[in-house]
Every structure is written in C-alpha cells, then in structure tokens.
Amino acid sequence: MPPARVFASEKNLENEHQTKEIQATKEPRNPINVLAKQGSLTDRQQESHEVLMKCLTDERRFDNEKSVAAWIVYKALLQWRLFEAEKTNIFDRIVHKIRSSIEKGQDDTRELAYWLTTSSTLLYLLQSTLKFSNTNNAASRRNRSSHATLFGRLVQGMQPSSVGLETSSGYSGMAGIPNDQQMVEAKYPALLFKQHLAAYVEKTYGMIRDKLKKEINPLLNLCIHAPRPTRAKTLRDVTKSIHLTTIAKQQASYVQWQNIVNKLEHTLTFMAENHVPSMITRKLFHQVFSYINVQLFNSLLLRRECCSVSNGEYLKMGLHELEQWCLKADDEATRSPWDELQHIRQAVMFLVSHQKTQKSLDEIAKEICPVLSIPQVYRIGTMFWDDKYGTQGLSPEVINQMRKLMTEDSANMTYPSFLLDVDSRYAKNKILAFFSVSLPNYSQCMFQHSFLSGRCFAILPRR
C-alpha cells in the first residue's frame, strides 16, 4: 500500500472512531456494551503489542545502515502515545525481550553486535524525542539504580539540544524526530524504560569487549616470551639448533600473533555486518588494544627472562603483525588503536636498541622511551641482559640518576609504581562522551519506502 493511502486509511479510522465516541455520549450507555467495547479495545491493544514484539525480534534488516526494528518500535510507541502513558507494560516487555536475547546470545558476538546496534539506535531516538518534567526527574532520582551505569548517567543528563543532530525534519508524511518545540513530554514509565535501555546498551558493549579480551588473553601469554632452544651436544648440533631456533621463533611468533589478528578481525566483521556505530567500534578497539598494551608491558617488567635482546626482537616481530593489520584494515575504527600500544612498543625499542651504555638519561627519556616513567625505565634497565651480543646495559651513572630521582619522588609513589593499570587512561566520562555524537543521524527521507510500505509496520493496528 502506498504511503499516502496507508496514512489516509489510518486517518479515516481515527475519524470514524471519534465520531462513534461522540454518538456514544449522546446515547444511553448500556454497561454490557461498554464492557464489550473495552474488552475489544484491550484485545486490539494486546494484538498490536504482540505484532510489535514480533517485529522487534524478526525484523533484522538495516536501511542505510540503520536498524529497522528500532525504528518500527520507536514509531509505534510514538504513534500510540505510550511515552505519555502513566501506566503500560509494553516497556517492560521490550526490555525483557532485549535482556533475554542478550543473555541467550552471550557467546555469539554477531548476535550481541545486532542488539548493540538496535538498542543504541532506539536509545538515541528516545533521547532525541522525549523530554521529562522536573517531577519525573525527581522521581527517577529516588529510584536511580540504573543511573549507576555509564550510558545511564549520560542519557539521564543529556539535554535534547546537546545531541547536535538535525531533528526538525519530518519523514514525508510521518511524524519525524521532533524539534525542541515538538518534544514529547514523557511520563515516568518512559523515563524508566530509557534508563533500562541505556543499561543494556552498556552491558552489551561490555560483553563484546570482555569476550574479545578473554579470547586473546591466553594468546598474549604465549607471545610474551620467545621459545627456548634445546641444548645442543656438538658443534654441528649447535649450528643446526641456531637455524632451527630462528625458524621456530618466526613461525611461533607469526602463528600466535596471527591468531590474535584473527580474533580482532572476526569481531570487527561482526560489528560491521550489524552496522554498529563507528565511534562505538572505535572505542571498543581502543580499550582492547589498551588491554593488550597493559598485559604485555606488565608481563615484560615482571619477568627478567623476557627483558633480553632476543626476546625484544621476538616481540618486535609480533607487534609488526598487529601493526600491519591496523594499517590494512578498511574500517577507520581499527587504524588509530595502534597508538594504544606505546608502552610495550617503547619497551621493546629499548631492548633492541644498541649502545645503551652510551645513552644519557635525557636521550632515553626523550628519544627511546618518552611515554615511560622513570620507575619503568629503571625497572627495564636494571633487568635487561644481552643474550645475543653480550653487550652491557645502561651505564652506572644513568642508573644512579634514576635511583636518585625515584628517591626524591618516593613520597608520591605507590608500590609497584612501574606497573600499568588496566584501562587506567579511560576515565568513565571519556567513554560516555562518544555516545552523544556517534549514533545514527536520521535524515529526511530515511526509511521512507521500507517502513511505510513494510509489511510489519503496515499491519500494526491503531490503538
């Protein structure tokens, strides 16, 4: 059915319904008839809700990289004026469906990525449309357990004008995202719905991130230390052992780091297939690369056997595999996270650098390890040993200089000061900041064909 005919028929149904109501006020009311009509309306409402829930789970299409299911749910709730309702159970049903789908697919990154896109898109649409009175906000503060979440605090505090997206355009006959003068004043159930939705956006994001971390963690343990050669008995065995060790190192490094690259690639593919907003994808990979940086760097500084020249070369070869993946990736979200590996990269650069005894502290701090702290440089410098060329490490003068500096600053340091904290550089407000600018920008003609003529949307009964 063409868009004009769809909405014309809906308008006729509304006019007919209003005419019957006027006539009913002029005629004596039969209690039995009134109850029958109320039962009929309840049945139609229930039927509408059932169809809507089916659309939420079954309409897994994307239009211009935007979630069809999220838009259908949003438009239905808006047209049925449920955001303004004092009491309704549809919000609880939607939240339950999202929660159960996430829990059921917790081991499936593709499934989690779909629900991350759908729930974040719906959350954006609510934020762009709804406004809440001070009374509702006061009530929400009395029951604000969901505000403890990252996305929950953001959504609760964001003002419509801060979204920074175009919201005044209509959708060719459909009520689009209203401007500030057309914002819908929602009741407390809608506010609670938005808070719960924000919590599940954050939860889904965290599940994808933590699942990827869990997959690569055992691989990182295999990448931190080069395989040891077997002890040779004769000179011929020594020569053969050196050759085989070199090959083994290259192969082992390639396999383990390639496995990490494959895990990253799979996650990126699933997020791209489900059109997860690019800023969310970028933030996720930044955090995962930060995790890789922390795990490798801390392991290096806790194990003296890893602070050798040959192990530095081994790690350098492995990090090169990761760098190549970042550079070759088509998605911009995977290019910038390479900078998150600065600590381990500079530590490796120190291990493989030549003529360490001739380096001054200023040269080390500015040229080789500008990101590392004095305690970190001191730790790796005192643990370094050259198992390949037999050269010496840092000069005694440089070691004494660093020891003196650490003694002076010891009052402000906590042991062990040379270790990194997991995601220590990602303050919560920085994780939140991307949300207001990264979600879909719905232009004027978005979804004009697929929604207005779509079977799922067209069959939704009017309340």
pLDDT of residue 245: 57
Burial of 131 from C-beta contacts in 10 A (0-12 / 13-18 / 19+)? middle
Q: Are 341 and 377 contacting, i.e. CB atoms less than 8 angstroms apart?
A: no
Q: Are 109 and 270 contacting, i.e. CB atoms less than 8 angstroms apart?
A: yes
Burial of 462 from C-beta contacts in 10 A (0-12 / 13-18 / 19+)? middle
Tally the C-alpha atoms within 13 A of residue 423's C-alpha that lie toward its C-beta: 14
Q: Are 117 and 206 contacting, i.e. CB atoms less than 8 angstroms apart?
A: no
CB atoms within 10 A of CB 269: 14
Phi/psi at 137 (5° precision): -65, -40
**Strand, coil or helix: 301:** helix
d(CA 367, CA 362): 8
Q: Are 95 and 53 contacting, i.e. CB atoms less than 8 angstroms apart?
A: no
Burial of 406 from C-beta contacts in 10 A (0-12 / 13-18 / 19+)? middle
CA angle, residues 69, 71, 73, in degrees to nearest 5 = 70
The domain limits of the chain are 36-134+182-223+445-462, 224-228+242-436
**Strand, coil or helix: 443:** coil
Nearest to 351 by CA among 322, 384, 389, 304: 384
Q: Is the peptide bond before 28 cis (omega within 30 degrees of 0)?
A: no
d(CA 458, CA 13): 14
Tokens 């939240």 belong to residue: 95
pLDDT of residue 32: 46
Enter the DSSP assignment of 365: I
Q: Give residues with Cβ within 8 angstroms of 422, minimum separation 6.
A: 290, 291, 294
Q: Are strands 62-63 and 184-186 parallel, antiparallel or unpaired?
A: unpaired
d(CA 43, CA 38): 9
> Considering Cα of 463, then 2, then 53, then 126, what sign does the dihedral take?
negative
Nearest to 319 by CA among 220, 218, 421: 220
**Strand, coil or helix: 399:** helix
Q: Helix H segments across 143-187?
A: 150-157
pLDDT of residue 409: 82
Phi/psi at 168 (5° precision): -95, -10
DSSP, residue by residue, 195-236: HHHHHHHHHHHHHHHHHHHHHHHHHHHHHSSPPPPPPPSSHH
d(CA 10, CA 1): 12
Exposure string (b/e) for 229-245, b if CB count within 10 Å is 16 or more?
eeeeeeeeeeeebeeeb
Q: In tens digits, what is the pLDDT along the chain, a chain of 463 residues?
A: 443 443 344 444 444 444 444 444 444 555 545 444 555 557 788 888 999 999 999 989 999 889 999 999 999 999 999 999 999 999 999 999 999 999 999 999 999 999 999 999 999 999 889 988 765 555 555 554 444 444 444 344 433 333 333 332 222 233 345 554 478 999 999 999 999 999 999 999 999 999 999 999 999 998 988 776 544 445 555 555 555 555 555 565 578 899 999 999 999 999 999 999 988 999 999 999 999 999 999 999 999 999 999 999 999 999 999 999 988 876 666 667 999 999 999 999 999 999 999 999 999 999 999 999 999 999 999 999 999 999 999 999 999 999 999 988 876 665 557 899 875 444 344 444 444 444 445 543 344 444 444 555 554 544 4
pLDDT of residue 251: 62
Structural class in CATH, domain 224-228+242-436: mainly alpha
Phi/psi at 173 (5° precision): 105, -20
CA angle, residues 280, 282, 286, in degrees to nearest 5 = 115
> Considering Cα of 390, then 391, then 396, then 398, what sign does the dihedral take?
negative
**Strand, coil or helix: 106:** coil
pLDDT of residue 226: 79
pLDDT of residue 458: 54
pLDDT of residue 239: 52
Query: What's the distance, CA 189 to chain centroid?
Result: 27
CA dihedral 366, 369, 375, 381 (to 10 degrees): -110
| pTM of the predicted protein model | 0.76
DSSP, residue by residue, 232-281: PSSHHHHHHHHHHHHHHHHHHHHHHHHHHHHHHHHHHHHHHHTT--HHHH
Name the token pair of 302.
């806790």
